[in-house]
Structure 1
Amino acid sequence: MPAAPKDRRKLFAALRWTAAVLVFGAVGTGVAYEVTQPERTDIPGLSTKADGRWTYPALAKPVLPPGAALPFAKDNPDGIHYAGLTELLLPAPTGSTPDSALKLEKDGVVTVDTFLEEYDAAAREKLKEEFGNEGLRQITARGWTTPDGTRTRVYLLRFHASGFVDKFGGCGSTAKLNGVVRLQSDEDWRKAKSSQRIEVGSDGAYTGAASGSRSASEVSLYKEAKPTGDEQTALGCLQAGDVQAVILQNRKGEVATVPFHQTVILQYQLLG
């Protein structure tokens, strides 16, 4: 059911804020804290009423090994992440429960076969072959379910270099996800970014065109096209140097827009 006009105005106000965070690459403690919390009196255009955001722990960047450069620093233009991949995973929100169906190895590592269970069986062999040819080093994951029934999985795929990330074909409008007939660009995300005069590609991808943004990263959001089955799937794709993030959410009826976008933007910040 479409959102009522008042609710839709509140929704777009929230999305304009998250889009602005993407443009300016804001990863400071203050901004990260504000985006993780549900109280919105300090953000223009948002009322004190709950708008669907989840409450996340305050984000903290991992400590790097001595002498290691930050991703996207002048001496690290390829965006290599020297932190442990598990340390870059978004923490689960308050009140959620761990996803018991997600098969985790030590330190949050998942096998290629576990990751490929998210895809249609007919697409797995080709993706697995691509991983062998395109420099995949490691996959880590975190999953949770929130009280509203939303199941979230965040996967981080580390490659040998950003050029291999660019070739990954498992995250986009043509991704063959398990049980999904067709994906389409997330229209709410696209409209919110358009209102901020952000350059948006035909598939809804943010291409880092703004001054001071990360030129080596891209963000694309998709939702399962209607009609769906009992639940809808949403897909978030983040490219950040040598890391590809794949964010999946499923929820009975429809995936809620605001917490989906919130999850994507917070993971984006951690990869900055």
Structure 2
Amino acid sequence: AAGITSMKRTDVPGLATRDDGRWDYPALSLPALPADAPRPYSDSNTAEVHHADLRRLLLPAPAGATVDKKLDGGWVDIARYAAEYGKDDRAALTQRLKDSALRHLTARGWTMPDGTSSRVYLLQFNSVAYSTEFHDRLFEDGSLPLAPTGTDEPAFDEDWASDAGAEFTTVRAYSEAEPYGAEQVRHGYVLAGDTLALVVQSRKGKAGTEAVPFHQTLILQDQLLG
């Protein structure tokens, strides 16, 4: 009995917490703000501007991940973001971003041991009007967004809970439905004031991507922005 009570609950046979598929992200905290700068949704920040360094608001990679050296949490150019979409859409998307008062663009990518590849992009605009316009134009052909590379037609993620997002943000989640090709792609957007996030996950093979870590990644990035 003494031996059992001295053990952590998760080390006791039969009492360990069942693995639900979530990834082991580091403890998250909001970065410090410049002096006298308000949070994005405070009463004194009607423009909903994120004053913190955008790179510090980017979700870190979880434990066990192999980080993409080209997407290491630093600044990236528009061409790298546009490469997430089909070749036929990149030129128009690039021009749209050049015309939309984009201030900053940062990204992080990693691959998990099971082969799931993740990319997270944060796009910060000069105002919430510009971020909202760019977000809405991604959906200009209807309720479904511009398709990312690797999928012809995204579908609504039926497992996504509509109330899972932070209070002042808009989150949309999509999952490539079966039958998909060589890989399955899941992606989602977070619109948070002057900033838009894109989260993309893909994995080759019949097993496809898992919903739980995708939702977890989207929620955590949303919380950092909200």
- Shorter-chain TM range is 0.7 to 0.9
| Secondary structure class of the residue paired with 2:144 | coil
Q: 2:182 aligns with which of 199, 206, 230?
A: 230
Query: CA separation in 2, counterparts of 1:85 and 1:103?
Result: 14
Instruction: Provide structure 1 residue ranges, at least 5 long, that are not aligned to the other structure.
Output: 1-38, 40-46, 199-205
Which residue of 2 is the match for residue 53 of structure 1? Answer: 22
Aligned match of 2:191: 239
Q: What is the match of residue 112 of structure 1?
A: 78
CA distance in 2, matches of 1:173, 1:89: 25
Structure number with larger C-alpha Rg:
2
Q: Is the 8 A contact 1:157 1:245 kept in 2?
A: yes
Query: 127, 130, 145: which one pairs with 2:96?
Result: 130
Match of 2:96, SS?
A: helix
| Displacement after TM superposition at 1:136 (Å) | 1.0
Give, as a single letter, the amino acid of the residue that structure 1 aligns with 2:148. L
Structure 2 counterpart of 1:242, which letter? Answer: D
1:261 aligns with 2:185: no
Q: CA deviation at 1:135?
A: 1.2
Q: Cα distance, 1:103 vs. partner?
A: 5.3
Contact 1:123/1:176 (<8 A) preserved? no
Residues 155 and 174 in structure 2, CA contact (< 8 A), matched pair in contact too: yes
**1-structure distance, mates of 2:109, 2:194:** 22
TM-score (norm 2): 0.85
Structure 1 residue 81 and structure 2 residue 26: aligned? no
Residue 78 of structure 1 deviates from its aligned partner by 2.5
Q: Once structures 1 and 2 are overlaid, which stretch shifts more, 73-82 or 171-180? A: 171-180
1:144, 1:153 within 8 Å by CA — same for their partners in 2?
yes
User: Which residue of structure 2 aligns with residue 96 of structure 1?
Assistant: 65
Whether contact under 8 Å (1:143, 1:152) holds in the other structure is: yes
Instruction: Provide the residue aligned with 1:24 in structure 2.
Output: none
RMSD over aligned Cα atoms: 2.0
Partners of 1:226 and 1:145 in 2: how far apart? 23
Following TM superposition, the consecutive aligned residue runs of length 4 or more in structure 1 with deviations greater than 4 angstroms are none
Deviation at 1:138, TM superposition (A): 1.5
Name the structure 1 match of 2:4: none
- Corresponding residue for residue 12 of structure 1: none
User: Does the 8 Å CA contact 2:66/2:110 hold for their aligned counterparts?
Assistant: yes
Tell me what 2:130 maps to: 164
Answer whether contact 2:71 2:108 (CA < 8 A) is retained. no
SS of 2:159's partner is: helix
Is 1:220–1:238's contact at 8 Å kept on the other side of the alignment? Answer: yes
**Structure 2 counterpart of 1:51, one-letter code:** D
Q: Report 1:33-48 matches (<5 A).
A: 48=17
Report the CA distance shift for 1:119/1:218 in structure 2 as closer, same or farther (over 3 A). Answer: same
**Alpha-carbon distance in structure 1 between the residues aligned to 2:150 and 2:220:** 27
TM-score normalized by the length of structure 1: 0.71
Larger helix percent: 1
Q: How does 1:57-68 map to 2 (within 5 A)?
A: 57-68=26-37
8 A Cα contact 2:165 2:219, kept in partner: no
Partner SS for 2:95: helix
Q: Is the 8 A contact 2:118 2:202 kept in 1?
A: yes
Q: Is the 8 A contact 2:187 2:200 kept in 1?
A: yes
Deviation at 1:48, TM superposition (A): 1.9
**Contact 1:170 / 1:176 at 8 angstroms: preserved in 2?**
no
